[in-house]
Structure 1
Amino acid sequence: MMKALIPVALVSALCSSVALAHNAGDFFVRGGAAIVMPNESSDNVLGTGELNISNDTQLAATLTYMATDNMGVELLLATPFTHDVSTKGLGKVAEVSQLPPSLMAQYYFGKADSKIRPYVGAGVNYTFFFDEKGKGALADTDVSVDDSLGWAAQAGVDAKIAKNWFANASVWYMDIDTDVRTAKGTFHTEIDPVSVMVGVGYTF
């Protein structure tokens, strides 16, 4: 988790001397690259160990509305993340894609015209799983993963780089619990990823 906070610290260190304005009534978008890093645990799969889920990096974007100078509401969207699923004893057994839209209530520290605006947020995440494919020992069998509804939290920072433009880095934690259904049985899995997003934003 400490490594995931490094991009947030770097953006803070590189902030411009130009004031960054996030005022009540503003809309702004952020876009960049996001990496999803699962902290998975699961039922033991037929004595071959727990499910292991790979990291993936994709494009992500957020849309934020400032209800006050310090309170915002944000929606997270992304291109589909695709993960390899494996066990220690069987190797790769599946591939699955997911989309994790999240709705957050945020608090921005400092004044509206501060040079940088650190923020925290909390809300809900709904993860859609799709395009599940059995691999290896599960090749040519049906594999499905249940969608998940859970809570989410974030911390981030914005720093002015030009008129209407700012740099951003944020860290997310999502509570994702699901059941992986296969021809060999159903295995409860907690994915609970940390995600790091780095990019730029534009204020309208």
Structure 2
Amino acid sequence: MKQTGVAILLSLSAISAANAQSAGQWTINAGWMHLSPQDSSQPMTVNALGRSATVPGSGTSVSDADTFSLTATYFVTDHVAIETILGVPPKLSLSGTGSLSGLGEMGSARVWSPAILAQYHFGAPNARLRPYLGAGLSYVWFKNIELNSPVATGQFLYSPTLGTHLEGPTSASLSKSLAPVINAGLTYNIDSHWSVGVSASYVWLSTKATLTTRSSLGTVSSSTKVKINPIVTFVSVGYRF
């Protein structure tokens, strides 16, 4: 009986160790990410003919987006981990609001935002449920910018005074930035390799949107600062090795 009891204890110990998220281990998670912008913007400023003017009541809003994402987490200790986040760049759409609401959807862009976070995982390494908190930085830039017709042709620059003279072919640029990130999550360890997880992050993200129009009267520059500040939720399946 004593030998049987010792065998059972050793078996339970082996199971606990197998389920542990411990120092030196890697976990790869794959899943679905949802971005919900908590957006706001400054009024648009137009620079033309040597003058600068603000368009009263102008604004923009940013759409929600979904994408597939991957994370790689390395446990430096039983509690401290470093996580990197990559994924398919989501497509965000920008629409006019206020005095620009008549433009509807102004354009869209793909957002590239790899991130690195330091995390603290609570509880014992062999716990089934492990909550965590994290903070880090994301480097953000935009590609594949597409403008809809009223913006691409400069129609948004029509004025009663100058008529269509400020209109013309228009291109867009969005500034790059380093964005602070905080996140919180929960991992459920199914067995020695597989787990499921949920997390929520907040990103302090803003960009300067600039429209450059080649009009018959010269180059016209229109710009606004857009705060995107998304809440990012992530549901995933993980494999530990």
TM-score, with length taken from structure 1 = 0.87
Contact 2:128 2:190 in 1 (8 A): no
* Aligned equivalent of 1:120: 133
State the Cα deviation string for residues 129-155 of structure 1 (Å, max 9, x = none).
111111142125201101111210000
Q: Which moved more, 1:133-142 or 1:155-164?
A: 133-142
State the Cα deviation string for residues 3-50 of structure 1 (Å, max 9, x = none).
xxxxxxxxxxxxxxx864110000111110001111111112333532
Contact 1:156 1:168 in 2 (8 A): yes
Amino acid at match of 1:92: E
Contact 2:116 2:136 in 1 (8 A): yes
Secondary structure of 2:20's aligned partner:
coil
Secondary structure of 1:143's aligned partner:
strand
Aligned residues: 187
* Aligned equivalent of 1:138: 151
Find the aligned partners of 2:126 and 2:58 in 1 and give their Cα distance.
52
Structure 1 unaligned blocks of 5 or more: 1-17
Bigger relative contact order (CA 8 A; separation at least 6): 1
Identity %: 28
Secondary structure of 1:137's aligned partner:
helix
Find the partner of 1:92 among 98, 105, 110: 105
Indicate the structure with greater helix content. 2
Amino acid at match of 2:187: D
Contact 2:27 2:74 in 1 (8 A): yes
* Aligned equivalent of 1:25: 24
Amino acid at match of 2:87: A
Find the aligned partners of 2:125 and 2:75 in 1 and give their Cα distance.
10
Structure 2 unaligned blocks of 5 or more: 1-14, 45-54, 154-169, 213-220
TM-score, with length taken from structure 2 = 0.74
User: Runs of 4 or more off by more than 4 Å in structure 1?
Assistant: none
Find the aligned partners of 1:152 and 1:119 in 2 and give their Cα distance.
14
Find the aligned partners of 2:192 and 2:125 in 1 and give their Cα distance.
15
